[in-house]
Homo-oligomer: A and B are copies of this chain.
């Protein structure tokens, strides 16, 4: 039986997508061409085809399903876990949810020329500097060491930030009341410096994956910049691309 959970203020396609996601996670569909047809889902949820297709579009962009004209929709379960897929904001937050981030507030700083070029911010702009370590579980081995720069306009919200499994960006969004806009991300391979080596328990000059993220609110203002270093032999960044 299909539970028609009527959440408030949430689009119907999101409810349909959540329901299908849960069903897939519960193993209600096996390998092969298992998912019901669009028209079947329309009847089942009592929505139009537009709504069903929007829900399926989300699942496809998450890599959960694969669709083919003439063949149908199949569950795509290659390499289940152990990866860090990332194709929309929800998946980014999911990554954060599986790990723990602890940080210290280092104080205010002004963006220098070289740093500004690397990070994509304006030289001379003012930020609050934080530094932290991400682990897979509390007290566990370090996964990444991170520098975080938060827009000085939001400095008042920094004392309220909590370590844990929710991203700083999420917390800032809720606390300061802005909408999530867009995240830009650069990935490089660099050699570990003394700081990364010590924090990640690797040797100096060992390869590390550096991920620079620039978070913007809906109006395009840069809210936060983070620079993470991941040990090369412990972390792979995984993503997928669908044709369409």
Given contacts A68-B218, A185-B238, A238-B186, contact A232 B244 (CB under 8 A): no
Are A120 and B78 neighbours in the complex by a CB distance under 8 Å? yes
Binds B, one of A39-47, A108-116, A124-132, A187-195: A187-195
Binds B, one of A2-10, A145-153, A201-209: A201-209
Are B239 and A185 neighbours in the complex by a CB distance under 8 Å? yes
A25 at the interface (CB under 8 A from B): no
Are A209 and B191 neighbours in the complex by a CB distance under 8 Å? no
Partner of A243, one of B78, B79, B89, B243: B89
Are B209 and A241 neighbours in the complex by a CB distance under 8 Å? no
Are A232 and B189 neighbours in the complex by a CB distance under 8 Å? yes
Given contacts A79-B120, A188-B232, A191-B232, contact A243 B209 (CB under 8 A): no
Interface 0/1 of A88-131, CB less than 8 Å to B: 11001000000000000000000000000000100000000000
**Which residues on B sit within 8 Å (CB–CB) of A180?**
243
**Which residues on B sit within 8 Å (CB–CB) of A235?**
188
Interface residues of A in 203-244 (CB under 8 A from B): 205-210, 218-220, 230, 232-233, 235-244
Interface residues of A in 19-66 (CB under 8 A from B): 66
A187 to B84, CA, bound (A): 10
Given contacts A191-B232, A207-B191, A207-B232, contact A240 B184 (CB under 8 A): yes
